[in-house]
Amino acid sequence: MSASGGSAFGGTAADYTEKIPNNVGLREDRRLQRALESWQPNFLTWWESMGPTLPTQDVYLRTAVNVGREGWAHFGHVAMRDYRWGIFLAERDPDRQIGFGQHKGEPAWQQVPGEYRAELRRLVVIQGDTEPASVEQQRNLGATAPSLYDLRNLFQVNVEEGRHLWAMVYLLHAYFGRDGREEAEELLHRNSGSVDSPRILGAFNEETPDWLSFFMFTYFTDRDGKYQLGTLKESAFDPLSRTCEFMLKEEAHHMMVGTTGVDRVVERTAQLMVEHDSDEVAARGAIPLTVIQKYLNFHYSVSLDLFGGETSTNVANYYTAGLKGRWSESRRTDDHKLTNDAMMVDALLDSGSPAQSVGQTEVSALIGLNTDLRREYIADCQSGVNRWNKILADAGLPQRLKLPHIAFNRKVGAFAAIEASPDGELLTAAQWQRQSAQWLPTQVDKTHVRSLMQPVHERGKIAAWIAPPRHGINGKPFDYEYVHLA
Ligand code: BYC
């Protein structure tokens, strides 16, 4: 890539002549520059050992070069090891004020206040931990990509998750001193699925062994990322807010990969169902709708867990302190403090008694903020399901996909201790044992899906279990040479 410093792109462009491209003036802060330059080889070692395993010559990738509205990214073929992971913060608004909590109306913080240091560090570390985790989870998928287009999208997601790790590591190094540097090291030491040092949040220790899982992950789990980043974008700590704002821009592509990926799987299945007037598409090389539903159930329920408990004093404290806001905070019409407000949250009523049931209970609005965010997320998830159901309806099929009940397969929060069906009916452990294979992918389902994952690495070709995309990337056709394999 050519150097692109200065104003050629408008806004604050990155200087690609720098070892670490950035728009944070790293050159003027030698100490920080040295610290990050000493972390960089560790990152590259991690990328080589835990990143994508399929050898490639180069990949048609988007690289962030700017944070302005126009022309923020550059597209071109790059060798992945030469990808320029940079540090980008959205432009600073010198007049920005804190939008919620007890400090509402005060100027946004340019430094970390001592009293909130531990909490802020924790939020940055949890966010940072998910980014390399997803790269680790997806590392073997290249070997079974259904097309060069999909392979390129996988790698795009991977390099950007790598950049999001850089974003959090920058904050740790720049604002959290020695313990920040130690946390930055730890982000490379924990590994997805490791017995000794797993990733922090549950969903990031699950496998992503096939492309249906990948599309479900990018639809449901990346979408948690969108919502969590949306709340951190509201943070009173301005560098965190500006970092997340820019990350959200990149996140939109990840959402697209998930949404259209599932679209295309459903479309192909629907085509074969209509063609053969049968639900039995497995023998014809596609994924049955029932199996798609089971994958959906799994990825949705583990992603619901990522929002934490239905009630949480942590989230109340984060909000009051101004560390983590609500989705679309500025569009809410209340007092942005919530000290006197109440809300209904999902709950297990009469817990432990024979009369226990799934219902709602009233709590202080602050305590219920994880539920508030989860509800925004659920509404967004439903829009994807509607879209997939439209594909089925347009094909003339009566079957429909649906989101399982909030209490289904939960390991965190109010429903962690019970079992419920996708319709929300409470089950005994024995009933769950007998029936869960109808609702979650079984070994047989997974083996079948994996058996379909034969690589199609030929230009313009696509695997039989998925429809081709409607559009290519950056105006290029589907049969463009998105990846040159080694
Ligand atoms: N797994 O008070 P509670 C993304 C812990 S994804 C394991 O309800 P809180 C991406 C919790 O830590 C977005 N443990 O939790 C997507 C707490 O522990 P302590 C990532 C869990 O704090 C795809 C205890 O249980 N970013 O970007 O209100 C690809 C009590 O819980 C889990 C963030 O999440 C869990 N699922 O909420 C790439 C934003 N849930 O304190 C990237 C930052 C809870 O008792 N994180 N626990 O030791 C946060 O905002 C919050 O920490 C959480 C939890 C929403 C995660």
User: Over the range 261-271, which residues count as b (16 or more CB within 10 Å of their CB) and which as e?
Assistant: bbbbbbbbbbe
Q: Which residue has the tokens 């699950």?
A: 206
Which residue's CA is minimally distant from atom 7 of ligand 1? 201
**Whole-structure pTM value:** 0.95
Helix (H), strand (E), coil (C) string for 255-317: HHHHHHHHHHHHHHHHHHHHHHCCCCCHHHCCCCHHHHHHHHHHHHHHHHHCCCCCCCHHHHH
pLDDT at 352: 86
The protein residue whose alpha carbon is closest to atom 48 in ligand 1 is 314
123 CB near ligand 1 (under 6 Å): yes
Hey, whose CA ends up nearest to atom 36 of ligand 1?
306
What 8-state DSSP symbol labels residue 337?
S
Mind listing the pLDDT tens digit for each residue in 83-122? Answer: 999 999 999 999 999 999 999 999 999 999 999 999 999 9
- How many angstroms separate the alpha carbon of residue 201 from the centre of ligand 1? 6
437 versus 2: the higher-pLDDT residue is: 437
Give the mean model confidence (pLDDT) for residues 135-143: 98
Q: Is the pLDDT of residue 2 over 50?
A: no
Does 310 contact ligand 1 (Cβ within 6 A)? no
Q: Which of 249, 314, 377 to mutate to test the pocket of ligand 1 (most atoms within 8 A of CB)?
A: 314
Token pair, residue 223, equals 């979408």
Rounded Cα distance between 377 and 241, Å, is 20
CA of 106 to the centre of ligand 1 (A): 27
Contact 197, 191 (CB under 8 A): yes
pLDDT in tens, 355-385: 899 999 999 999 999 999 999 999 999 999 9
Point out the least confidently predicted range of 3-7, 208-212, 271-275, 294-298: 3-7
Residue 458 has pLDDT above 90, yes or no: yes
Q: How far apart are CA 154 and CA 214, in angstroms?
A: 9
Contact between residue 207 and residue 140 where contact means Cβ atoms under 8 Å apart? no
pLDDT at 3 over 70: no
The pLDDT score that the predictor gives to residue 9 is 35
CA of 109 to the centre of ligand 1 (A): 24
The per-residue pLDDT for 69 is 66
Q: Give, for ligand 1, the residue of 228, 317, 410 to mutate: max count of ligand atoms closer than 8 Å to Cβ.
A: 228
Q: Per residue in 26-49, pLDDT tens? A: 999 999 999 999 999 999 999 999
CA distance 174 to 10: 26
pLDDT tens digits, residue range 341-362? 999 999 999 998 888 999 999 9
Quick one: what percent of the chain has pLDDT higher than 90? 92
| Per-residue pLDDT at 445 | 98
pLDDT tens, residue by residue, 271-320? 999 999 999 999 999 999 999 999 999 999 999 999 999 999 999 999 99
Task: Provide φ and ψ at 344, rounded to 5°.
Answer: -95, 135
Q: Please report the sign of the dihedral spanned by the C-alpha atoms of residue 382, residue 213, residue 446, residue 467.
A: positive
Query: What percent of the chain has pLDDT above 70?
Result: 97
| pLDDT greater than 70 at residue 12 | no
pLDDT of the residue at 7: 33
Rounded mean pLDDT, 419-448 = 97
Question: What pLDDT sits at residue 206?
Answer: 93
Residues whose CB falls within 8 Å of the CB of residue 360, separated by 6 or more in sequence, listed in order: 344, 345, 346, 347
Residue 6: per-residue pLDDT? 34
The answer to whether the beta carbons of residues 453 and 210 sit under 8 Å apart is yes
Termini Cα distance of the chain? 20
pLDDT for residue 67? 77
Q: How far is the CA of 470 from the centre of ligand 1 (A)?
A: 36
Whose tokens are 């199609």? That residue is 456
Q: For 45-95, how does the pLDDT look when each residue is reduced to its tens digit (9 = 90+)?
A: 999 999 999 999 999 999 988 777 666 788 999 999 899 999 999 999 999
132 lines ligand 1 (CB under 6 A): no
User: How far is Cα 457 from Cα 439, in angstroms, rounded to an integer?
Assistant: 33
Residue 106: count other Cβ atoms within 10 Å of its Cβ. 12
Q: In angstroms, what is the span from residue 222 Cα to ligand 1's centroid?
A: 14
CB 316 within 8 A of CB 323: no
Cβ of 228 less than 6 Å from ligand 1: yes
Compare 191 and 13 and report the one with higher pLDDT: 191
- Using H for helix, E for strand and C for coil, what is the string for 350-387? CCCCCCCEEEEEEEECCCCHHHHHHHHHHHHHHHHHHH
Mean pLDDT of the chain: 95
Q: Average of pLDDT values for 19-30?
A: 92
Tens of pLDDT, residue by residue over 142-185, are 999 999 999 999 999 999 999 999 999 999 999 999 999 999 99
Q: What is the mean pLDDT of residues 186-214?
A: 97
Check pocket membership of 127 for ligand 1, CB cut-off 6 A: yes
> To test ligand 1's pocket by mutation, which of 163, 201, 219, 248 has the most ligand atoms within 8 angstroms of CB?
201
Q: Is the distance from CB of 481 to CB of 314 less than 8 angstroms?
A: no
Q: Are 249 and 210 in contact (CB under 8 A)?
A: no
Q: How far is CA 47 from CA 201, 374, 439, in A?
A: 21, 32, 36
C-alpha count within 13 angstroms, C-beta hemisphere, residue 395: 23
- Give every CB contact of residue 353 below 8 A, 6+ residues apart in sequence: none
Q: How far is CA 399 from CA 63, 220, 266, 287, 293, in A?
A: 41, 21, 11, 14, 11
